[in-house]
Amino acid sequence: MKNLIRIGLLASAALVLSALPARAADYRAEYRLSTVLPESFPWGAGGLRWAELIKERTGGRINVKMYPGTSLVGGDQTKEFTALRQGTIDLAVGSTINWSPQVRELNLFALPFLMPDYKAIDALTKGEVGRDLFAVLATKDVVPLAWGENGFREISNSKRDIHVPDDLKGLKIRVVGSPLFVETISALGGNPVQMSWADAQPAMATNAVDGQENPLSVFAAAKLHTVGQKHVTLWGYVADPLIFVVSRQVWDSWSPEDQRAVREAAEQAAAEEVALARKGISGNDDEMLKAIAANGVSVVRLTEAEKQAFQKATRPVFDKWVKLVGAPLVTKAEAAVAKR
């Protein structure tokens, strides 16, 4: 009888334990989170916030350490997504641009002049297009959780103001390792030079390149005016949404309760990161623009007519890449932008 009671108690205890969230001892001591930029930029701040929220919401069961500068892949941004799939990286706040070589559909956001404003970005990431892209990513060994934002990419250089496509002729412009960016700058008469962000600032300081294209938050945080970037043109030719993801293998090792906690943490961190990325440059808030100009930088705001000239010059590139991204997805995106 006593043995039966003991067996019953042990069985009850096992059921209780199985219903509890997985213990910290069952998980790794540390999970590796990759970002391109450190916490001094909105991108890195979003990654760090995610790590903090994960620890808080899981009661310390999941501990995440952020590795900025894509240091887990030797600083090569274009290798980050492959490393996620292979298990070198556990979590990431990644760029749609950097992952586009492995996920062709993500080139959607780099189609020149597809998105004219922040409402257009939101129409895509918060709508059916965003869900379609998450479905694509979910087939590639990762679990996408939330959309962040690196922002509209504006162009700067050390030589002159840019008002028309001809102003780009002959300028050596640093671009990320994406064929679409190379073709877009080439179509405008510029000389695109592919290099990592780690190499970009030294190249600008030594005049190995004349300019670059990046969100204003990056321009300001990196103090690019100190490396000769004295001319900025606001053209908003492409935007770079970020994606909060977890490796599928890691995700499947967590309890449902912790999966939910990590997802909620991603959603909160992403919302805070987007707000930070737009601070000082959107709506009636132009404090960052004023600060950039105060450093002796000439800031050019293109008129709609001037933007159309750039759009016309890059249209052959747009049309070519529609086929590579997928015409149905692009059509859906254009309709969402038009309805915004």
Span 290-338, pLDDT tens digits: 999 999 999 999 999 999 999 999 999 999 999 999 999 999 999 999 9
Q: Give the H or E element holding residue 244.
A: strand 239-247
> Which tens digits make up the pLDDT trace of 191-214?
999 998 889 999 999 999 999 999
Q: Which two tokens stand for residue 279?
A: 């601070």
Residues 6+ apart with CB under 8 A from 205: 227, 228
Q: HSE on the CB side for 220, CA within 13 Å?
A: 24
Is there a contact between 314 and 184 (Cβ–Cβ < 8 Å)? yes
Question: According to the model, what pLDDT value does residue 177 have?
Answer: 82
Question: According to the model, what pLDDT value does residue 5 have?
Answer: 43
User: From the DSSP assignment, how many helices (H) and strands (E) are in the chain?
Assistant: 14, 11
Question: According to the model, what pLDDT value does residue 198 have?
Answer: 86
Question: According to the model, what pLDDT value does residue 9 have?
Answer: 43
> Which tens digits make up the pLDDT trace of 215-260?
999 999 999 999 999 999 999 999 999 999 999 999 999 999 999 9
To the question of pTM greater than 0.85 for the whole model, the response is yes
Average pLDDT over residues 83-107: 96
- Domains, the chain: 27-150+241-278 (3.40.190.170), 154-238+283-338 (3.40.190.170)
Question: According to the model, what pLDDT value does residue 18 have?
Answer: 43
Q: Which two tokens stand for residue 330?
A: 């692009």
Average pLDDT over residues 125-142: 98
Give 111: exposed, middle or buried? Use CB within 10 Å, 0-12, 13-18, 19+: buried
85 C-beta neighbours (distance < 10 Å), count: 15
Question: According to the model, what pLDDT value does residue 180 have?
Answer: 96
Which of 11 and 143 is assigned the larger pLDDT?
143
Angle between helices 304-325 and 327-338 (to 10 degrees): 150
The β-bridge relationship of strands 239-247 and 142-152 is: antiparallel
Of 11-15, 76-80, 278-282, the one with minimum mean pLDDT is: 11-15
